[in-house]
Structure 1
Amino acid sequence: MKRTSIIYIFLSASFILALGCAVYFYNQAQKYDEKLVTATSNGSSPTYHFALIGEEMDHVYWRSVGEGAKEKEAEYNVFIEYEGPKRSNPEEQLKLLDMAIKSKVDGIIVQALNDKFTPLINQAVDQGIPVMTVDTDAPESKRSAYIGTDNYEAGRLAGNTLVKETEGKATVGIITGRFANAHHQLRIEGFKEILEKTEGIEIVAMEESNIDRVGAEEQAYKMLREHPNITAFYGTSTLDGVGITAAAKKLNRLDDLYVITFDRSDENVQLLQSGAINALVEQQPYQMGNRSVEIMMDIIKGKPVEEMHHTDATIIRKSDLLYENAQEGETS
C-alpha cells in the first residue's frame, strides 16, 4: 500500500510538471503569434522572422542590444522577436531558445552563457535554422558566427589599465557577475594574465555578484571587512561597480580605493564623474545588435561570413567625459 502511494505521488507530480511545461510553451507560442500579428498589421508581411535572445530584458546593456537589432527591421524588412528573462536566468534563456526552434523562426541570435546552449544550437542548425551568438560565444557549436567583445582581451585591457594607474602596486578584490558565465570567466582570465606579470600586485579575494547590485555590494563589503588591505577592485559586469562603491562608501573607503568595472551605464558614468569609479571598460552593445542582423541576412543569403566579429572595447576615464562634454558644447 505504501509503495502504491509513492508511485501515485510520483505520477501525480510528473503529470503536474508536464502540464506546467505545456502551459508555458503554449503561452510562449501565443506571445510569438501576437507579436507577429502586430508586426504585420501595417499590411506588409516581413520577409524573415528572427529571434534575438538576450540575458536580461531589464538591463541597460541588453536594452541597447535590442534597440540596435530592432533599428534594422525596416531596412531589411524583417521582424526581430526580442526576448529574454526579466532577470538573468540561463535556464529561462534555454527555454526561449527551444521555443524559437519549435516556432521555426528563420534565424536565431542568442547569447550562449554556458555549454548547455550548444546542443540546442546544434539542433536548430540541423533543422535548417541558422544561428549566430552575441556577447557570449559557443565556439564548439554549429553556430555560423559570433559578434561581441573579445572578452579575454577586454580583461587584459582592464588589467593593463589598473597596473598603469596604480603604478604597479595594489591589493585587488574581484567581483564577477557569475563564475559559471563564459564571458565573465574570460574577463577574469585576461585580467589575471596581466596582473600575474606584475610583482607589486596581488589578488586576495574573488566573489560573484549574481549580476545584482545588492549582491555586488554585499560581496564587496564582506571583502573589505575580511581584507582591509584591499586597495583596488575589478568588476566584470555593469552593476558590480555600483555595488562596490556603495560598500566602500559605507566603510568610508571611497577615497582610497581604485575601482575599474564594465559598461557605460548612466549610474556608472555618474560614479565616474564623481571619482568613485576610476575607469570603465566600454563595450558596444548597440553595435552588436545592429550588426548581428546584417550578418544574419548574409548567412541566410548564402554569402560568406567571417566566424568572429569583435566589437571595440575601450577605456573611459573622467577626463574623457570632460572632453566629450567640451566637444558637445562647441557643436551645440
Structure 2
Amino acid sequence: MAYYRKWVYSFGLFLLILSLSLSIAFSAKALQYNRKLAKRPNTPAASYHFVLIPEEMDNDYWRLVEKGARAAEKKLPVSIEYNGPEQADIETHLKKIDMAIASKVDGIITQGLNESQFTPLINKAIAKGIPVITIDTDAPNSQRIAYIGTDNYLSGYLAGQALIKGTHGQAVVGIITGRFDAEHQKLRVQGFRDAVKQAPGIRIAAVEESNITRIEAAEKASKILHEHPDVTAFYGTSALDAIGIAQVVEEIDDKSFYIIGFDTLPETLDLLKRGKIQATVVQTPYEMGYKSVKLMLDIIKGKRVSTVNHTETKVIGKEDLPLQEATVEWSVPAP
C-alpha cells in the first residue's frame, strides 16, 4: 500500500511539473510573438479578407500585380491572400475560385480568362454575396461588379499601328499568342488584325500558341519560320512571347526582323535596349494590383464604382527606355 501511495505521489508530481513547464513555454512564445507584433510598422487592423487569384503564381507580371496589392494592404484595413495555379492552368484556376467561395472570403479579385467557364463561378460568388472584380482580363457577360486593367483590344490595335510605322507598312507577320482560349489574348490579336488591315502591304502568315512560356514561344517562332520563310516580323501577345521569339531570331543572326512584344519585364527591357526587339506594349500591373484592392474596399463599403476601369496602355521603343526604366513600378496616390 505504501509503495502504491508513493507511486501515485510521484506520478502526480510529474504531471504538475509537466503542466508548469508547458505553461512557461507557452507564455514565453506568447511574449515573443507580442514582441514581434510590437516591432511591425503601424498598419490598419485587417477587417476584410480578399483573395487575389493570378493566372500563374510565380510569373513576373503577376508578382508586380501582387506587389501593388500588398502596397494597398499596408494602407487599408484588409488582408490579401495571393493564391493561384503554380503554372497557368484553367482547371486549377477555376478550383481556386471555387475554394475562395467555399471559404466565404469578403472579396475575390481574379481574371475572366474564358467566359464560358469563368462566368458560372463568378455568378456563383455573387449569388453567395461575395463581390468579384475581374483584373487584367474581363468577363463582361458575368455578374462581376467591376473590371480593372488594360483595354486589351486597344493594346493590340496600338501594337498594330506601331508595326505599320516600324516596317513602313511592308511586312509578313507571325503572331505568337499566350493562349487561344484566353479572352484577353484573343482581344490583343483581334485589335492587331484590325489595325494592320489599314496597310495593304502587311500580311499575317500564321498565329501560334505559346502557352505563356518562353520555351514554347521559341518553338512556335521556329515553326513559323520553317513553314513561312517569308516572315519578316513577329508580334507576341503575352509577356514571355517576345523573349522566346528574340532567342530564335538571334540564333539565325538575322537583324532584319521587326519584333514587338508585351510588357516590361527586365529581360524585355534589356532586349529592347540591345535592339533585339523593336517595341513592346506597356501595361501597369502594379497599378492594377493596388487599385483593385481599393476598388474592392469601396464596393464592400457600398460606394458607387465604375464598371470598367482601364489602366494606361502605350507602346514604347528603345528611345523611351530612360523614362520607362524609372517607372517600371507605377506610382499610385495614397487613398
TM bin (shorter chain): 0.7 to 0.9
Q: Secondary structure of 1:174's match?
A: strand
Compared CA separation, residues 162 and 109, structure 1 to 2 (3 A): same
So what's the TM-score if we normalise by structure 2? 0.83
Corresponding position: 1:96 with 2:96: yes
Compared CA separation, residues 325 and 188, structure 1 to 2 (3 A): closer
Corresponding position: 1:281 with 2:289: no
CA deviation map 1:165-203 (0-9, x unaligned): 111111100000011100000000000001112111000
Give distance in 2, aligned partners of 1:104 and 1:55: 21
- Cα distance, 1:264 vs. partner? 0.2
1:22 corresponds to which residue?
none
Output the amino acid matched with 2:46: P
Compared CA separation, residues 294 and 325, structure 1 to 2 (3 A): closer
CA deviation map 1:114-166 (0-9, x unaligned): 12111111111111111110000111111100000000000000000000111
Structure 2: which 5+ runs fail to align? Answer: 1-32, 39-43, 328-335
1:263 corresponds to which residue?
263
Q: Which moved more, 1:315-324 or 1:276-285?
A: 315-324
Q: Secondary structure of 1:261's match?
A: strand
Give distance in 2, aligned partners of 1:324 and 1:245: 20
1:238 corresponds to which residue?
239
- Cα distance, 1:252 vs. partner? 2.2
Q: Secondary structure of 2:303's match?
A: coil
- Cα distance, 1:323 vs. partner? 5.6
Q: Secondary structure of 1:172's match?
A: strand
Give distance in 2, aligned partners of 1:176 and 1:325: 25
So what's the TM-score if we normalise by structure 1? 0.84
Q: Secondary structure of 1:216's match?
A: helix
CA deviation map 1:87-136 (0-9, x unaligned): 11111111110000000001111111112111111111111111110000
- Cα distance, 1:53 vs. partner? 0.4
Give distance in 2, aligned partners of 1:194 and 1:319: 23
Corresponding position: 1:249 with 2:250: yes
Q: Secondary structure of 2:87's match?
A: coil
For these two proteins, the number of residue pairs brought into alignment is: 287
Compared CA separation, residues 144 and 234, structure 1 to 2 (3 A): same
1:207 corresponds to which residue?
208
CA deviation map 1:195-246 (0-9, x unaligned): 1121110001110001010100001011112211111100000100011011
Q: Which moved more, 1:314-323 or 1:286-295?
A: 314-323
Compared CA separation, residues 112 and 324, structure 1 to 2 (3 A): closer
Corresponding position: 1:134 with 2:160: no
Output the amino acid matched with 1:299: I
Compared CA separation, residues 310 and 48, structure 1 to 2 (3 A): same
Give distance in 1, aligned partners of 2:180 and 2:157: 18
1:50 corresponds to which residue?
50
- Cα distance, 1:288 vs. partner? 0.3
Q: Which moved more, 1:197-206 or 1:41-50?
A: 41-50
1:185 corresponds to which residue?
186
- Cα distance, 1:75 vs. partner? 1.5
- Cα distance, 1:45 vs. partner? 5.2
Give distance in 2, aligned partners of 1:58 and 1:212: 12
Q: Secondary structure of 1:85's match?
A: coil
Corresponding position: 1:118 with 2:119: yes
- Cα distance, 1:324 vs. partner? 5.9
Compared CA separation, residues 122 and 42, structure 1 to 2 (3 A): farther
Indicate the RMSD between aligned Cα atoms, in angstroms: 1.8
- Cα distance, 1:325 vs. partner? 7.1
- Cα distance, 1:42 vs. partner? 3.9
Give distance in 2, aligned partners of 1:285 and 1:305: 20
CA deviation map 1:56-91 (0-9, x unaligned): 111110000011011111311210011111111111
Give distance in 2, aligned partners of 1:256 and 1:184: 26
Compared CA separation, residues 290 and 97, structure 1 to 2 (3 A): same
Output the amino acid matched with 2:174: G
Output the amino acid matched with 1:209: S
Give distance in 2, aligned partners of 1:321 and 1:165: 17
Corresponding position: 1:109 with 2:130: no
Corresponding position: 1:164 with 2:165: yes
Q: Secondary structure of 2:50's match?
A: strand
What aligned pairs does 1:11-22 form with structure 2 within 5 A after superposition? Answer: none
Output the amino acid matched with 1:181: A
1:70 corresponds to which residue?
70
Corresponding position: 1:150 with 2:151: yes
Give distance in 2, aligned partners of 1:323 and 1:196: 32
Give distance in 1, aligned partners of 2:245 and 2:57: 23
- Cα distance, 1:317 vs. partner? 0.9
Compared CA separation, residues 236 and 50, structure 1 to 2 (3 A): same
